[in-house]
Amino acid sequence: MAIPTMAEFIDRFPELQVHSFAQRDEALAAAGRRCPESVWADLQFDGAGFYAAHLIASRVREVGAQVGQPVQSAGSGLLSTHYGQQFDELSQCLPCTSGFSI
């Protein structure tokens, strides 16, 4: 798998098309670093998409808070956006590849 292309990202998350190309491109690059294929394997495409969408939604929230708009959140960190919640749920499907075995 691979991280989504810009076109694939917009097809999956059309509501995020209103954000600049640079914001989306930066979020996809960060998502690619967060979801390496060596760990995410077949889930990389979905994981990177949800993580990039979470980054954009989080930024929108931060800007809204800075200009004094009320901000409601279901949690903090990944749990603060629907996309982050989906990413978190998907990440729980990853095999544990580190740690000790007895």
Q: Are 87 and 47 in contact (CB under 8 A)?
A: yes
Q: Are 84 and 93 in contact (CB under 8 A)?
A: no
Query: If you average pLDDT over every residue of the chain, what do you get?
Result: 86
The kind and range of the H/E element at 79 are none
Q: How confident is the model at residue 101 (pLDDT cuts 50, 70, 90)?
A: low
Sequence-distant (≥ 6) Cβ neighbours of residue 54 within 8 angstroms = 78, 81, 83, 84, 87
CA dihedral sign of residues 40, 41, 42, 46: positive
Q: Using a cut of 0.75, tell me whether the model's pTM lies above it.
A: yes
Mind listing the pLDDT tens digit for each residue in 4-54? 999 999 999 999 999 999 999 999 999 999 999 999 999 999 999 999 999
